[in-house]
């Protein structure tokens, strides 16, 4: 076989491998999104990294009502949501509810501050008393809970892991979230 024939075979092999990889990644994305996180459904049990570097699975929250809030650290409405939670953190504290604020996978491709710095800047009281827990969502968790890449979406999760309430922008929906929490107790 001549040099040109070998080059063509190598190029074809690379194309086949690239196509197979693309198909596998696309199938994985479809499987993750097919979980369709909805109210009344069991929340998918993905792991995430806490601000201190340790990893945890959502199942560790069983037995407690919790809020998962997905943000981008460059998002202005997310910053406003932190400010609103900071002003009302006593409500969550009284009810024993932790808000896990998850930076979307790789901050959705844009640069922002670290999640811990972001939370501490806009919600210092809620951060320092442990009401808001900064964390990093991996690809699978981001794809399952936020497949459309919304910047400011949250989920209220019951003690048994069921999704009780879904909304976005706590800066403008905090009263509704507190109502959903009150009705779930």
- pLDDT of residue 6 exceeding 60, the answer is no
Which domain, by its residues, includes 6?
Answer: 1-34
pTM (2 d.p.): 0.80
- Are 135 and 115 within 8 A, CB to CB? yes
At 111, which CATH number? 3.40.30.10
Question: What pLDDT was estimated at residue 53?
Answer: 86
**Confidence class of residue 185 from pLDDT cuts 50, 70 and 90?**
confident
Q: What is the mean pLDDT of the chain?
A: 85
- CA nearest 49: which of 155, 137, 144, 111? 137
Pairwise CA distance, residues 142 & 35, whole Å: 12
Q: Are residues 168 and 91 in the same domain?
A: yes
Same domain, 57 and 83: yes
Is pLDDT of 108 > 70?
yes
Same domain, 27 and 56: no
**Residue 181 to residue 24: CA distance in whole angstroms:** 40
Beta carbons within 8 Å of 6's beta carbon, 6+ residues apart = none
Residue scoring higher pLDDT (52 or 74) = 74
106 shares a domain with 42: yes
């Amino acid at each position: 076989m001549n040099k040109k024939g070998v080059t063509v075979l190598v190029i074809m092999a690379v194309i086949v491998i690239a196509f197979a990889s693309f198909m596998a990644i696309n199938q994985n994305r479809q499987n993750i999104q097919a979980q369709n996180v909805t109210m009344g459904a069991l929340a998918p049990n993905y792991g995430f990294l806490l601000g201190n570097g340790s990893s945890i699975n959502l199942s560790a929250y069983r037995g407690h009502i919790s809020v998962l809030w997905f943000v981008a650290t460059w998002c202005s409405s997310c910053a406003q949501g932190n400010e609103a939670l900071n002003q009302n953190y006593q409500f969550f504290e009284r009810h024993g509810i932790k808000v896990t604020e998850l930076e979307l996978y790789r901050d959705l491709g844009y640069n922002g501050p670290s999640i811990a710095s972001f939370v501490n800047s806009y919600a210092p009281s809620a951060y320092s008393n442990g009401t808001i827990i900064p964390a990093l969502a991996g690809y699978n968790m981001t794809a399952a809970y936020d497949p459309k890449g919304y910047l400011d979406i949250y989920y209220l999760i019951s003690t048994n892991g069921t999704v009780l309430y879904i909304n976005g922008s706590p800066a403008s929906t905090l009263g509704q979230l507190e109502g959903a929490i009150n009705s779930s107790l």
